[in-house]
Amino acid sequence: MKCFACSILGAASVVAVVGIGAATVGFAPAPAAPAEKVAAATAFEVDTVHSAVVFKIQHAGVSNFYGTFAKTTGTVNWDSAKPEASTITIAIDAESISSGNAKRDQHLRNPDFFNAKEFPQITFKSTGMKKTGEKTFELAGELTLLGKTKPVTATLVWTGEKDAGPQFGYRIGLDATFTIKRSDFGMTYGVAQGSLSDEVTIMAGLAAVRK
């Protein structure tokens, strides 16, 4: 004869197992929500034709003299949502220096100044950026001139960003200004004599087109 107590225990065990299974299904953790996508910075290529690099130096302890570099290339990776995460890399062609006088330009390209044959590029690579206003930033970076690399800090101004149509494309505008001492890079011509200042201010107006 079948044990009545055994039957009751067996039925209870089945109910318990089914109940536990149901509870397990009912309380299973919900699937994890997909990770929120983080927008990547947009890559822009410097528009050489519409960019300008200007330098300012004091002459004879009296007046300021301005010159330019005609060829600038580089990349701007700009994060509109978080500009502080943006990066800027620039290369200036030392041979492209122009002072408005051919004889002086040749002197500026020789070893007294930029030694353009041995060091054809002046480069800047950003290392950090801090927001200081609605459209202004403190831009930290490394400047390489005459084979020497030194930290510099520039004031950066975001001047605009838009789709400028099929002729000019989607572009961004930035202005950067910083001051260096030439002697830090080994360029000392005219400093001791007072004919040229040690400090030089560099101003870059950059236009860059989305890649």
Q: What is the mean pLDDT of residues 50-74?
A: 98
Please give the share of the chain, as a percent, with pLDDT higher than 90: 81
Q: With contact defined as beta carbons under 8 Å apart, do 198 and 183 qualify?
A: yes
Residue 132 CA to residue 130 CA, distance in Å, equals 6
Q: With contact defined as beta carbons under 8 Å apart, do 156 and 176 qualify?
A: yes
Residue 57 CA to residue 89 CA, distance in Å, equals 24
Parse the chain into domains and list their residue ranges.
42-210
pTM of the full predicted structure?
0.81
pLDDT single digits (tens) 108-165: 999 999 999 999 999 999 999 999 999 999 999 999 999 999 999 999 999 999 999 9
Q: What is the pLDDT of residue 16?
A: 38
Output the CATH code of domain 42-210: 2.40.128.110
pLDDT single digits (tens) 16-39: 333 444 444 444 555 555 444 445
Q: Between residues 26 and 85, which one has the greater pLDDT? A: 85
* HSE-up of residue 100 (Cα within 13 Å, Cβ side): 5
Residue given tokens 């302890």 in the structure block: 61
Q: What is the pLDDT of residue 31?
A: 56
Q: What is the pLDDT of residue 40?
A: 79
CA distances for 209 relative to 69, 91, 126, 159, 172, angstroms:
20, 16, 19, 14, 7
Residue 148 CA to residue 168 CA, distance in Å, equals 36
Residue 17 CA to residue 13 CA, distance in Å, equals 6
